[in-house]
Amino acid sequence: MNPAAPSFILVGSILILGFITFLYRFAFMSSIGQQLSHKIPNYFFKILAPATFTAIITQSFLNNQNESQDLKTKFLTLIISVFIAYRTRSVLLTVIFGLSLLYGLEKAQW
């Protein structure tokens, strides 16, 4: 897929993504949603979050490395960043720390 040359399918996918996102947000504000809101356990949506986020982290991590040295550096960065994320709970701090660490490790050819 070449995103530089947007196709009808790509633009259509963006519109579908936007529409589905809107439907999620509007779901319980629609007339049907108002009736459903008491029947669906919120617990299920809570479980979806850790499963989805972990899967994305793993997938993105696997997609991000090209060679074993690269894997080693990024894995170390990820492990240390878990600690920072746990201590700060801040997206901003975790990203700044993680990217700085990775940059430093790569420059030092660790």
Partner 1 sequence: MSENTKYFFLGYRKTLPLVVGVIPFGIMYASIARHTGFSPELILFISCVVFGGASQLVFVDLIFHLTSPIMACFGAQIINARHLVYSAAVSRDFNLFSLKWRIILSYFLTDQFYAFYTSESKTAATLNLLEKPWYYLGSGLCTWSFWIGSTIVGTFLEELLPKSWNLSFAIPLIFLPLVIKSLQEKGDFVICLIAAISVYFLQKLPFGLGLFISIVAASLCGYLINKKLNQKDSSK
- Residue list 35-64, contact with partner 1 (CB under 8 A): 37, 40, 42-64
Count of residues that interact with partner 1, criterion CB under 8 A: 71
Going by C-alpha positions, the residue among 108, 85, 109 that lies closest to residue 97 is 85
Q: How far is the CB of 84 from partner 1 (least distance, A)?
A: 8
Distance between CA atoms of 64 and 68, rounded to whole angstroms? 12
Q: How far is the CB of 33 from partner 1 (least distance, A)?
A: 7
Going by C-alpha positions, the residue among 52, 92, 94 that lies closest to residue 77 is 94
Q: Which of residues 78-97 bind partner 1 (CB under 8 A)?
A: 78, 81-82, 85-86, 88-92, 94-95
Q: Which two tokens stand for residue 31?
A: 């007339």
Q: Is 104 in the site for partner 1 (CB under 8 A)?
A: no
Q: How far is the CB of 20 from partner 1 (least distance, A)?
A: 5
CB atoms within 10 A of CB 69: 12
